[in-house]
Structure 1
Amino acid sequence: MLNLAELTTPYLLLDPVKMERNIARLQKHMDKLGVTLRPHVKTAKSIDVVRRLFADGKGPITVSTLKEAEYFAEHGFTDITYAVGISPDKLPRVVELLRMGVTLRVLVDSMAQAQAVVKAAAQLGHKIPALIEIDCDGERAGLSKNDPKIVEIGRYLHENGEFCGILMHAGGSYHCPDKAAKEAAAEHERATAVAVRDQLVAAGVPCPIVSVGSTPTAHFAEDLTGVTEMRAGVYVFQDLVMAGLHVCELQDIAISVVATVIGHRPEKGWIMTDAGWMALSRDRGTAQQEVDQGYGLVCAMDGTPYQDLIVSSTSQEHGIVSVRKGSKAKLPKLEVGQQVRILPNHACATASQFEGYVVPTADELVFWPRINYW
């Protein structure tokens, strides 16, 4: 059992009550809309977290690395979508998982990838289910809705027994602070997906899977007619970006980095901590939002935010804490050796800096390991 007094900072603290409340909130919404939730486990990367997402502990899940797929397969998850465009060198690892009885779908948005999938399937002696990635808002990879290559690739994969559907991610929803804009992004995502499915079906290409998702659109979707599954990941922990988008409140953020005060620069209005970018990450996802939270919002150890106190700058192992520019708040008196909690801009990026989570339960403090790398 862990002892808080003996832990070396910085470490990653996870509040399981907040986490489970976040999980239940989105699951209830998906149940209401009648759509399967396929959580993206790239945020947590921990079996101890992901087991809390399912009554039976089997999935379905989304992953962003093959290491995640292998790790969760070892723990009994058999329904996995690898939601990053496939490169040919990874296909032998995909087939190894398929041979183990795992349904692992890969993602393509070019004929070159589709041909690599078909070639590998023939050479390795196992069908490889593939999804076509669709770009609904110009934010990332994928084919545009009316691109004729969608039907061309879909037909080619279908004729070779590999095609299973389409997938898209509404990355533009991360730029939608107001409710109406997020609702519109969710409906645009849904309508685009259904339109592409209809194009494929009209061309004689069955499209059983219609997969959409982002944490903002998952929470603000009002109608998912025609969609078969929703993907979201950061909702499990939430973060300052999601709070800035009004997807959650500050008190919903379930993870924080615990840091120790190591010095002061009173002439500059700085408090120094031992949590630099190696602990917090370099993610500045709130920089373009209404409230710039620097590299993280600083809270007391009970989770109460100090007024306008942020990590304004970082180096590798130093975090510079100061009052947000323009604020009339005063720098709190934090002595050397005193600890604080720092809420992250981007839960996925901050969590990736650590080997696991320190978790206070009802009667003990435990450590939940996580995996990193590819």
Structure 2
Amino acid sequence: MTSSIDSLDTPVAVVDVSRMQRNIQRMQNQANRQGVRLRPHVKTTKCEQVVAAQVKAGAQGITVSTLKEAQAFFAQGITDILYAVAMAPTKLNQALALRRAGCSLTIVTDSVAGARAITDFCRTHGERFEVFIEIDSDHHRSGVRSDDPVLIEIARILHEGGAVLKGVMTHAGESYKLNTLEALQEIAEIERSECGMAAEAIRSAGLPCQEVSVGSTPTALSAVHLDGVTELRAGVYVFFDLVMHNVGVCQLDELALSVLTTVIGHQPEKGWIITDSGWMAMSRDRGTQSQQCDFGYGLVCDTEGKLIDGLQLRSANQEHGVASFEEGQQVEIEQQFPIGTRLRILPNHACATGAQYQAYEALDENGEISLWPRLNGW
């Protein structure tokens, strides 16, 4: 444990623990109100301490984006794990090892070829993988449509081929492009209804479909009701970020992740404050660029986390960040932000920024710092 934020080398990822805890409880409260399980997506943080806080608040099981995450969190005692990426046949041996070790791992497919690869593997190895079929509820990325006949074909292959057809799942990623409560409520209802219709189509074909799993942070927080849904999945809510702020599901003072940086130079004639937080520290993600407010590479705060009006990290090279004020603001940057000044940058995308680091510096309400390691790689 380090005494204070002032003693940290920069750049470094800082987690405001109090904000994080409030964010965790907010999502858990929503799941409780809706009468569904919360299965948080841990790809945002990949951190044992964060996941432990989510489980303590009431989460039931976790969602992962890599089998390495599944292995790590299973080793830490979490057994109920959904690997929410379409299963590549070459990874079935990894999944088998987890199940044979006692992990209740659920896998995902969205194709006939994927279903056949899973069932062929099941027969060869005497295993009954539990499988979700991914549903395309909003034409965002992957999945099968609820009214596509191939849905029933996939379901039948899984059920009759030796796997356990556990249910259907979806992710309304298009919600990230919205910014009003009405639009978010509408897409949350589309997500719920499309996944529910897929489940009903499977059941009407005489096949089992026990679970209906939905979720993204915007839809999870905006859903009016979740009738027919059994579990809710969301990830970035634990930290939030500037993209989520633009979407409209959080305030700036709810963002729990920032990058602590140091002023290393100036270009006074250009109004530039040079920092050691380049894109290697912030990530290349410019997710707010296509939204109504472009925040560059991040908004700048003081070391207490208070926003500095008009100051953004507007550009970045690999190890250099360039912060400047809005046009028209007259600031003596060398006097107000001398070399050595510490600042904190709120990121566009918490998942991408977190991925730049091996650990978080967890800042508690007393100002004390603890090191929280995170998992990287595949």
TM-score past 0.5 threshold: yes
Q: Work out the CA distance in 1 between the residues paired with 2:296 and 2:344.
A: 14
- Tell me the SS of whatever aligns to 1:55: helix
Partner of 1:171: 173
Q: What TM-score results when the alignment is normalised by the length of structure 1?
A: 0.97
CA contact (8 A) 2:39 2:59 kept: no
Structure 1 residue 58: deviation in Å? Answer: 8.0
Cα 1:186/1:74, change in 2 over 3 Å? same
1:31 aligns with 2:32: yes
Partner of 2:341: 338
Instruction: Give the letter aligned to residue 375 of structure 2.
Output: I
CA contact (8 A) 1:58 1:78 kept: no
Structure 1 residue 323: deviation in Å? Answer: 2.1
Q: For 1:182-228, what per-residue CA distance to the aligned partner results, in whole angstroms no more than 9, with x for missing partners?
A: 00010110010111111100001110111110000000001100011
1:154 aligns with 2:158: no
Q: For 1:219-248, what per-residue CA distance to the aligned partner results, in whole angstroms no more than 9, with x for missing partners?
A: 000110001111000000010011111100
Q: Work out the CA distance in 2 between the residues paired with 1:82 and 1:67.
A: 10
Q: Work out the CA distance in 1 between the residues paired with 2:374 and 2:127.
A: 30
Instruction: Give the letter aligned to residue 149 of structure 2.
Output: P
Structure 1 residue 5: deviation in Å? Answer: 3.7
Structure 1 residue 308: deviation in Å? Answer: 1.8
1:267 aligns with 2:274: no
Q: Work out the CA distance in 1 between the residues paired with 2:174 and 2:306.
A: 31
- Tell me the SS of whatever aligns to 2:289: coil
Q: For 1:276-322, what per-residue CA distance to the aligned partner results, in whole angstroms no more than 9, with x for missing partners?
A: 11110010111111111001111111111111211111111000111
1:119 aligns with 2:120: yes
Partner of 1:347: 350
Structure 1 residue 57: deviation in Å? Answer: 8.5
- Tell me the SS of whatever aligns to 2:182: helix
Q: Work out the CA distance in 2 between the residues paired with 1:117 and 1:73.
A: 22
CA contact (8 A) 1:57 1:77 kept: no
Cα 1:227/1:95, change in 2 over 3 Å? same
Q: Which runs of 5+ in 2 are unaligned?
A: none
Partner of 2:233: 231
Partner of 1:241: 243
Instruction: Give the letter aligned to residue 215 of structure 1.
Output: T
Instruction: Give the letter aligned to residue 368 of structure 2.
Output: E
CA contact (8 A) 2:12 2:260 kept: yes
Q: Work out the CA distance in 1 between the residues paired with 2:160 and 2:312.
A: 56
Cα 1:124/1:221, change in 2 over 3 Å? same
1:85 aligns with 2:119: no
- Tell me the SS of whatever aligns to 2:69: helix
Instruction: Give the letter aligned to residue 2 of structure 1.
Output: T
Structure 1 residue 363: deviation in Å? Answer: 7.1
Partner of 2:294: 292
Q: Work out the CA distance in 2 between the residues paired with 1:22 and 1:142.
A: 29
Partner of 1:357: 360
Q: Work out the CA distance in 1 between the residues paired with 2:59 and 2:104.
A: 12
Structure 1 residue 125: deviation in Å? Answer: 2.5
- Tell me the SS of whatever aligns to 2:290: coil
Larger displacement relative to structure 2 (328-337 or 230-239): 328-337
Q: Work out the CA distance in 1 between the residues paired with 2:230 and 2:8.
A: 44
- Tell me the SS of whatever aligns to 2:250: coil
Alignment of 1:125-140 (within 5 A): 125-140=126-141
Q: Which runs of 5+ in 1 are unaligned?
A: none
Q: For 1:13-36, what per-residue CA distance to the aligned partner results, in whole angstroms no more than 9, with x for missing partners?
A: 111100000011111111111011
Partner of 1:50: 51
Q: Work out the CA distance in 2 between the residues paired with 1:120 and 1:155.
A: 16
- Tell me the SS of whatever aligns to 1:204: coil
Q: Work out the CA distance in 2 between the residues paired with 1:246 and 1:57.
A: 25
Instruction: Give the letter aligned to residue 61 of structure 2.
Output: P
Q: For 1:27-75, what per-residue CA distance to the aligned partner results, in whole angstroms no more than 9, with x for missing partners?
A: 1111111011110000010111100011388841000000100000000
Structure 1 residue 161: deviation in Å? Answer: 3.6
Q: Percent same amino acid among aligned pairs? A: 47
- Tell me the SS of whatever aligns to 2:14: strand
1:371 aligns with 2:372: no
Alignment of 1:1-80 (within 5 A): 1-3=1-3, 4-55=5-56, 59-80=60-81
Q: Work out the CA distance in 2 between the residues paired with 1:231 and 1:18.
A: 20
Q: Work out the CA distance in 1 between the residues paired with 2:191 and 2:71.
A: 30
Partner of 1:329: 329
- Tell me the SS of whatever aligns to 2:56: coil
- Tell me the SS of whatever aligns to 2:248: coil
Instruction: Give the letter aligned to residue 338 of structure 2.
Output: E
Cα 1:219/1:58, change in 2 over 3 Å? closer
Q: Work out the CA distance in 1 between the residues paired with 2:174 and 2:367.
A: 42
Instruction: Give the letter aligned to residue 329 of structure 1.
Output: Q
Q: Work out the CA distance in 2 between the residues paired with 1:103 and 1:131.
A: 13
Partner of 2:146: 145
Among 302, 317, 322, the alignment partner of 1:315 is: 317
Q: Work out the CA distance in 2 between the residues paired with 1:373 and 1:57.
A: 28
Larger displacement relative to structure 2 (331-340 or 179-188): 331-340
CA contact (8 A) 2:38 2:59 kept: no
CA contact (8 A) 1:44 1:351 kept: yes
